[in-house]
């Protein structure tokens, strides 16, 4: 579309700016400029006060972010935000002051070791913007990086860090979503980063930049993926006591809470951890957790919070009670819907320290807010990304008979290979290619954003991940996607995970003959996907789950002994067969 008048002039000026480097950029390219802190390079103003909407011009056309919307999301000036395991500081600038850098080859001083660079950024180009830059290490070496920043008004809501409800313009406020993104790119974790040269891409705006520290000394023991953002309660002055099952143990623990997909902060008043005795009853008095030395914490929209390391003996293969008080009101929350595990909700009050179950009078069947349990030590973790079969649908509730649980038990029982933590990132109903939950707003659908959209959060950013196992795709075929489309998505997952230095395994899709939607045409597509998986060199290994559970007499169906009864999901015996078939040396 051609823009005319003043807007057309603005577009022309932006295009000219995109091909004429700034003086700072020219100096950087010529090697005459020393790296500077990012805030000293701020040359663009993105945030305006609602009372003065013309006080900022983020996109060159007069539009900007609302300072009031940012504050309502908990993104206040100077606040440290943790997203995807990276800590970034929202610029400590008042509305109407320069608060971001238009990437034009500037060199930014940055220190530390980690597995990734994290950019708090967005594009104003009208589309996703892909550009390259350079990382310089303290040993004098360099390496290139490539990042893709979505557009602040048109990018996917599924991958945004935060979405704001309005866009300010000189003519008034527009009711449309403004987005900001945290984009990570891998770096060499064995070398110390000294500086980062930004790309030559003036439509790329960078608000903050950091090195995501590796989780040295920690292993992920339990995790779950946020599958949606439904209405809850509302909860006011209630305590949630969630039951989770560890894969590995250790002498210290830390917990992770995520406010994924949220539009507003959530307050955790206090939290404890205990080993379960039975139901909501603790085997010993719950132990108090802290957050930056404080009893509780507020988690901004889209961000996460880690508890301080706590000396606490976490048993392997045991149930923990994680209790946290919500002063509230909380009317909607990020959840993992299909827990296959009963957890508990208290009567009014802070009951985090209660060892008894008396106050916990209601049952929860989802896991809200809590997304991870890490333990000290260990060799790292294996992350399993999948759909309802990995999530444990049709397994026995409260029995931990999901196939990832059985796999964790096998790892604990041997010494031939490292005894990795096993992190279950299955989401019932999830697809590789398409979002079920749109990624923003309160919704009843809790089948998650696509595997491609959640890969960075649910795999790459998980604690101490070493290997990823991909077991997903039947829901895409049921939704009408072709084998060619699905295998393209699986190959993209492998490529992106390999770029992070991960080992990547893939599992074949199970037969589902007898389920009404599993037609002969779908069986042809499933067979084609499995043929590609078995022959592809995109992955480091194949788990042939199809061969494990199919009926030799009717290969389009599961063996009756493994079928839960719906012909789509294995029951306990089938899930155990999957886990027992895994060659542990592949992990």
Residue of 195, 213, 206 lying closest to 461 (CA atoms): 213
Assess contact for 307 and 271: CB atoms under 8 A: yes
**H or E segment at 188?**
none
Residue 125: phi, psi to the nearest 5? -85, -10
- Both tokens of residue 448? 């998650």
Given this model, what pLDDT does residue 427 score?
98
pLDDT beyond 50 at 7? no
Please, which residues have CB within 8 angstroms of residue 425's CB and are 6 or more apart in sequence?
223, 224, 225, 383, 384, 385, 386, 390, 458, 459, 462
Strands 503-507 and 541-543: parallel
Please, which residues have CB within 8 angstroms of residue 1's CB and are 6 or more apart in sequence?
none
pLDDT beyond 60 at 115? yes
As to burial, measured by CB atoms within 10 angstroms (0-12 exposed, 13-18 middle, 19+ buried), residue 137 is middle
Residue of 203, 202, 223 lying closest to 424 (CA atoms): 223
- Strand residue runs (E) in 198-318: 200-212, 218-223, 231-235, 238-245, 250-258, 266-268, 270-278, 281-282, 287-288, 297-299, 304-306, 310-314
Assess contact for 65 and 164: CB atoms under 8 A: yes
The predicted-structure confidence for 143-159, as pLDDT tens digits, reads as follows 999 999 999 999 999 99
The model's confidence at residue 1, banded by pLDDT at 50, 70 and 90, is: very low
The predicted-structure confidence for 564-583, as pLDDT tens digits, reads as follows 999 999 999 999 999 999 99
Instruction: Give the end-to-end CA distance of the chain in Å, rounded to a whole number.
Output: 51
Given this model, what pLDDT does residue 216 score?
86
3-state class of 157 per DSSP?
helix
Strands 465-471 and 503-507: parallel
- Provide the mean pLDDT of the chain: 94
Instruction: Note every long-range contact of 533-537, with CB atoms under 8 Å and residues 24 or more positions apart, other chains counting.
Output: 533/487, 533/490, 533/506, 533/507, 533/508, 534/508, 536/487, 536/491, 536/506
Strands 162-164 and 116-123: unpaired
Q: Rounded to an integer, what distance in angstroms lies between the CA atom of residue 456 and that of residue 116?
A: 11
Q: Rounded to an integer, what distance in angstroms lies between the CA atom of residue 313 and that of residue 452?
A: 36
Given this model, what pLDDT does residue 206 score?
98
Q: Hey, CA dihedral for 26, 29, 32, 38, is it positive or negative?
A: positive
The predicted-structure confidence for 26-70, as pLDDT tens digits, reads as follows 554 444 579 999 999 999 999 999 999 999 999 999 999 999 999
Q: Rounded to an integer, what distance in angstroms lies between the CA atom of residue 101 and that of residue 144?
A: 20
Given this model, what pLDDT does residue 457 score?
98
Residue of 220 and 15 predicted with greater confidence: 220
pLDDT beyond 90 at 285? yes
Given this model, what pLDDT does residue 280 score?
98
What average pLDDT score do residues 242-254 get?
Answer: 98
Q: Does the bond joining 506 to the residue before it have cis omega, within 30 degrees of 0?
A: no
Give pTM, 2 decimals: 0.93
Assess contact for 261 and 371: CB atoms under 8 A: no
The model's confidence at residue 470, banded by pLDDT at 50, 70 and 90, is: very high
Given this model, what pLDDT does residue 171 score?
92
Q: Rounded to an integer, what distance in angstroms lies between the CA atom of residue 453 and that of residue 436?
A: 11
Residue 449: phi, psi to the nearest 5? -80, 165
Residue of 541, 538, 551 lying closest to 577 (CA atoms): 551
What average pLDDT score do residues 160-184 get?
Answer: 97
pLDDT beyond 50 at 306? yes
The predicted-structure confidence for 502-532, as pLDDT tens digits, reads as follows 999 999 999 999 999 999 999 999 999 999 9
pLDDT beyond 60 at 8? no
Helices H / strands E in the chain, number of each: 11, 40
Q: Cite the DSSP H helix spans in 354-482.
A: 388-391, 403-412, 451-455, 474-478
- Both tokens of residue 361? 């009078």
| Residue showing tokens 């809590």 | 370
Assess contact for 99 and 46: CB atoms under 8 A: yes
Residue of 235, 384, 375 lying closest to 318 (CA atoms): 375
Q: Cite the DSSP H helix spans in 479-519.
A: 483-499
* DSSP assignment string, 411-422: HHT--SS---EE
pLDDT beyond 80 at 335? yes
Q: Rounded to an integer, what distance in angstroms lies between the CA atom of residue 381 and that of residue 363?
A: 30
Q: Rounded to an integer, what distance in angstroms lies between the CA atom of residue 572 and that of residue 395?
A: 5
Percentage of the chain lying above the pLDDT 70 cut: 95
Length of the chain: 587
As to burial, measured by CB atoms within 10 angstroms (0-12 exposed, 13-18 middle, 19+ buried), residue 485 is middle
Q: Hey, CA dihedral for 426, 432, 436, 440, is it positive or negative?
A: positive
Given this model, what pLDDT does residue 32 score?
52
Assess contact for 534 and 505: CB atoms under 8 A: no
As to burial, measured by CB atoms within 10 angstroms (0-12 exposed, 13-18 middle, 19+ buried), residue 72 is middle
Q: What is the DSSP letter of 170?
A: T
């Amino acid at each position: 579309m051609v823009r005319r008048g003043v807007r057309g002039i603005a577009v022309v000026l932006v295009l000219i700016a995109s091909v004429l480097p700034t003086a700072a950029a020219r100096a950087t390219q010529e090697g005459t400029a020393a790296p500077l802190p990012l805030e000293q390079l701020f040359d663009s103003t993105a945030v305006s006060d609602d009372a003065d909407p013309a006080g900022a011009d983020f996109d060159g056309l007069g539009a900007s972010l609302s300072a009031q919307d940012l504050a309502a999301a908990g993104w206040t000036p100077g606040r440290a935000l943790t997203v995807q395991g990276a800590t970034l500081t929202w610029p400590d600038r008042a509305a109407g002051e320069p608060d971001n850098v238009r990437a034009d080859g500037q060199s930014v001083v940055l220190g530390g070791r980690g597995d990734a660079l994290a950019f708090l950024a967005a594009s104003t180009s009208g589309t996703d913007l892909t550009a390259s830059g350079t990382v310089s290490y303290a040993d004098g070496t360099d390496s290139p990086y490539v990042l893709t920043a979505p557009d602040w008004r048109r990018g996917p809501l599924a991958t945004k860090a935060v979405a704001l409800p309005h866009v300010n313009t000189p003519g008034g406020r527009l009711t449309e979503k403004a987005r900001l993104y945290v984009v990570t790119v891998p770096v060499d974790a064995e070398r110390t980063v000294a500086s980062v040269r930004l790309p030559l891409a003036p439509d790329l705006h960078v608000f903050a930049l950091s090195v995501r520290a590796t989780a040295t000394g920690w292993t992920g023991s339990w995790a779950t993926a946020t599958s949606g953002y439904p209405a809850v309660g509302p909860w006011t002055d209630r305590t949630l006591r969630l039951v989770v099952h560890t894969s590995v143990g250790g002498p210290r623990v830390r917990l992770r809470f995520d406010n994924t997909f949220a539009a507003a902060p959530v307050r955790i008043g206090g939290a404890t951890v205990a080993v379960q005795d039975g139901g909501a009853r603790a085997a010993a008095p719950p132990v108090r957790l802290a957050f930056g030395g404080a009893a509780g914490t507020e988690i901004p929209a889209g961000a996460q919070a880690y508890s301080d390391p706590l000396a606490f003996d976490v048993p392997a293969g045991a149930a923990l009670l994680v209790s946290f008080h919500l002063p509230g009101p909380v009317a909607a929350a990020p959840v993992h819907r299909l827990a296959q595990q009963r957890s508990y909700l208290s009567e009014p009050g802070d009951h985090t320290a209660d060892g008894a179950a008396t106050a916990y009078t209601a049952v929860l069947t989802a896991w809200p807010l809590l997304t991870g349990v890490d333990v000290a030590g260990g060799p790292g973790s294996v992350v399993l990304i999948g759909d309802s079969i990995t999530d444990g649908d049709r397994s026995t509730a409260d029995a931990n008979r999901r196939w990832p649980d059985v796999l964790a038990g096998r790892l604990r029982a041997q010494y031939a290979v490292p005894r990795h933590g096993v992190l279950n990132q299955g989401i019932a109903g999830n697809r590789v290619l398409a979002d079920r939950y749109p990624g923003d707003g309160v919704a009843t659908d809790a089948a998650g954003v696509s595997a491609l959209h959640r890969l960075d959060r649910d795999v790459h950013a998980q604690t101490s991940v070493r290997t990823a196992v991909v077991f997903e795709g039947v829901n895409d075929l049921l939704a009408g996607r072709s084998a060619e489309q699905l295998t393209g998505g699986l190959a993209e997952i492998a490529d992106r995970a390999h770029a992070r230095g991960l080992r990547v395994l893939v599992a074949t899709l199970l037969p589902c003959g007898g389920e009404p939607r599993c037609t002969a045409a779908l069986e042809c597509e499933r067979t084609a996907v499995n043929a590609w998986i078995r022959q592809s060199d995109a992955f480091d290994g194949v788990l042939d789950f199809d061969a494990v559970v199919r009926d030799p007499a009717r290969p389009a169906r599961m063996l009756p002994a493994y079928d839960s009864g719906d012909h789509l999901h294995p029951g306990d015996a089938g899930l155990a067969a999957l886990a027992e078939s895994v060659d542990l040396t592949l992990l």
